[in-house]
Amino acid sequence: MNAIVALCHFCELHGPRTLFCTEVLHSPLPQGAGSGDISGHNEPAEEEEGGIQMSSRIRSHSPAEGASADSSSPGPKKSDMCEASGKICGCRSLAGGHPGYVSHDKETSIKYVSHQHPNHPQLFSIVRQACVRSLSCEVCPGREGPIFFGDEQHGFVFSHTFFIKDSLARGFQRWYSIITIMMDRIYLINSWPFLLGKIRGIIDELQGKALKVFEAEQFGCPQRAQRMNTAFTPFLHQRNGNAARSLTSLTNDENLWACLHTSFAWLLKACGSRLTEKLLEGAPTEDTLVQMEKLADLKEESEGWDGSEEEEKPSSQPDVVEGQELSKSSPETSLMPDCNSWNVAHRRLSVFRSLRHMRQVLGASAFRMLAWHVLMGNQVIWKAQDMDLVQSAFDVLRTMLPIGCVRIIPYSDQYEEAYRCNFLGLGPHVQIPPHILSSEFAVLVEVRAATRSSLYPTLFDDEQSLNKYEFLVTSGSPVAADRVGPTILNKIEAALTNQNLSVDVVDQCLVCLKEEWMNKVKVLFKFTKVDSRPKEDTQKLLSILGAAEEDNVKLLKFWMTGLSKTYKSHLMSTVRSPTSSECRN
């Protein structure tokens, strides 16, 4: 993650100061930031959490670096720092000759470098400005807590201010802040909960150590009573007489800065790896939205069970799965991860590999009739002894429809009404009501044992399972050969008959066709259901969409049932809002 984490302090003499900062280096360390690392063969490296190698091998300054430190360093001048009795005081973290800390991430070859100030002048200016703002004007109510500020030019800052107990300080406490600076505003905002929790943990640890020191000092020499008994002296005189103590003194922890370096380095690595960018090629499709809604329903249903055993349903009421088949035959195994083993076996037993394969098996006219009923939303019934054959057929046919339009009962021992499913698998001896057999809203595919004269010619070695069957497709409303049919059906058949297109290309063509017609469905839904336009305007719209034919209109109305709840609720909430109604008027 391209960011800087810094600890800042409000000095009573000099105002806001940067005490300690950790930055990320993706390239070889620049001069003055670790290029002169001591080899340290006798000092073993210590493995830290997250793959970061924290070592005590710290760079040593060359004479040239030491000579030019006061003149060329981007940090504040020596005269500006708090110094008393040769000790490190409130404005300094590391001693003048201390080289800083370096950690190596072996996984990414990234180095995390910590010092009092960034070595790069531009970074120093950015950190300096963020430090001043975090301890002056950009403060949350109560002066203690998190806040966000920044701009495109100077970066965006997550700042958490806090107090540290000090028995010698005015008000018995000193003001600090931990800031995280980066140029990516969205990333920083999305990381707010993570940063707040981790930085809060660092602050609690610092405050806990300082509180122990404060209580011990107050027990030995109470400062409050001593100050009340002391004659009034000007504040400036008293402040100059008592230089601010360093944070290591306030916490009584000589290894404080090494620990802070480890914490800041881990924070940068963990925050950078917890969020990953994904390329989205546009808005989510309706199929994606429906899948997300189904997944949410499954989670809600599983939570509602509350650990109780699921009651077995009688065989007379088989499960219906909208948008996908039963879990064991659903190709979207990501939604049903507990059924992966079944799917592997199912793919081995699959007999229909694609729509093109099914068209070759059934024949062009029979396939066209079957596909027409599928696209129109009529009930498709398969009667067969082989359950795997029926399920593989549904796997293939369902690819022509949006997920929201698919309601499947893969196999049942009795007929189920059309309102429950539009794909129904039945055993060979299940009776179908006569009115269904003669209905124009249903199509029946009977799978029978093939006679020797009607054996299906085997084109491939793995088609032996189909060679023993013959398929009879019947309907109360057969599709005439000269019937134009829906436009999408004609395009699907054109793609299937084009031998220059591979099966994968045909699948992508099918996805594009479905998305094209779902966009028309969205327009029609908003036009008729949301805006409530008259029929004359609707006919004009259908003509513009190229869907004025009867079959196309039926298809659009059926596909309208496959729209996601998210899309429908979004449109309805938009039309109910006052602004939208005013714009429409």
Question: Does residue 564 carry a pLDDT above 90?
Answer: no
pLDDT tens-digit readout, 420-450: 999 999 998 999 999 999 998 999 999 988 7
**For the ranges 31-40, 112-121, 242-251, 522-531, which has the lowest average pLDDT?**
31-40
The answer on 266 and 363 residing in a single domain is no
- Joined together, the tokens standing for residue 278 give 């994904």
* 8 Å CB contact between 575 and 581: yes
Measured between alpha carbons, how far is 342 from 330 in angstroms, rounded to an integer? Answer: 10
Q: Residue 549 belongs to a domain with what CATH number?
A: 1.10.10.1730
pLDDT of residue 239: 47
The contacts of residue 456 (CB under 8 Å, 6+ apart) are: 361, 450, 463, 466, 467, 469, 470
The answer on 479 and 544 residing in a single domain is no
pLDDT interval class at 182 (50, 70, 90): very high
* 8 Å CB contact between 346 and 387: no
The answer on 470 and 541 residing in a single domain is no
Tell me the Cα Rg of the chain: 36
Pick the last residue of a domain from 232, 257, 273: 273
Give the number of domains in the chain: 3
Q: Which of the two residues, 221 and 245, has the higher pLDDT score? A: 245
Measured between alpha carbons, how far is 261 from 86 in angstroms, rounded to an integer? Answer: 24
- What do you get for the CA distance between the two ends of the chain, in Å? 50
pLDDT of residue 333: 36
DSSP letters, 508-560, are: HHHHHHHHHHHHHHHHHHIIIIIS---HHHHHHHHHHHT--SHHHHHHHHHHG
pLDDT of residue 89: 54
The answer on 510 and 439 residing in a single domain is no
Bridge partners (DSSP) of residue 471 are 447
- Give the mean pLDDT of 302-306: 67
The answer on 224 and 130 residing in a single domain is yes
Q: State the pTM of this model.
A: 0.49
Bridge partners (DSSP) of residue 5 are 22, 180
The contacts of residue 132 (CB under 8 Å, 6+ apart) are: 15, 16
Does a structural domain hold residue 293?
A: no
Does a structural domain hold residue 209?
A: yes
The answer on 269 and 128 residing in a single domain is yes
The three-state secondary structure class of 465 is: coil
- Give the mean pLDDT of 379-385: 93
The answer on 267 and 359 residing in a single domain is no
pLDDT interval class at 1 (50, 70, 90): confident
The answer on 18 and 165 residing in a single domain is yes
Domain assignment of residue 197, given as a range: 3-27+94-273
pLDDT interval class at 22 (50, 70, 90): very high
Measured between alpha carbons, how far is 191 from 418 in angstroms, rounded to an integer? Answer: 49
Sequence length of the chain is 585
* Region of residue 538 (phi > 0: left; psi between -120 and 50: alpha; otherwise: beta): alpha
Does a structural domain hold residue 126?
A: yes
Bridge partners (DSSP) of residue 443 are 380, 475
AA identity, residue 56: S
Does a structural domain hold residue 16?
A: yes
Bridge partners (DSSP) of residue 151 are 155
- Give the mean pLDDT of 68-96: 52
The three-state secondary structure class of 181 is: strand
pLDDT interval class at 266 (50, 70, 90): very high
The answer on 510 and 417 residing in a single domain is no
Bridge partners (DSSP) of residue 114 are 22, 101
Bridge partners (DSSP) of residue 54 are 46, 103
Q: Residue 395 belongs to a domain with what CATH number?
A: 3.40.50.12430
- Give the mean pLDDT of 498-526: 91
The answer on 361 and 235 residing in a single domain is no
The answer on 543 and 470 residing in a single domain is no
* 8 Å CB contact between 304 and 418: no
Give the position of tokens 């650990």: 307
Measured between alpha carbons, how far is 525 from 560 in angstroms, rounded to an integer? Answer: 7
The contacts of residue 201 (CB under 8 Å, 6+ apart) are: none
Q: How far is CA 255 from CA 12, 20, 405, in A?
A: 25, 13, 65
Does a structural domain hold residue 219?
A: yes
* 8 Å CB contact between 115 and 73: no
- Give the mean pLDDT of 407-417: 92
Does a structural domain hold residue 456?
A: no
Q: 3-state SS of 241-255?
A: HCCCECHHHHHCCCC
Does a structural domain hold residue 583?
A: no
Give the position of tokens 């939303």: 377
Q: How far is CA 139 from CA 14, 135, 144, 564, in A?
A: 19, 7, 8, 44
The contacts of residue 278 (CB under 8 Å, 6+ apart) are: none
The answer on 530 and 472 residing in a single domain is no
Does a structural domain hold residue 316?
A: no
DSSP letters, 357-422, are: HHHHHH-HHHHHHHHHHHHHT-EEEEE-S-HHHHHHHHHHHGGGS-GGG-EEEEEESS---TTT-S
Q: Which of 506, 530, 516, 517 is nearest to 558 (CA)?
A: 517
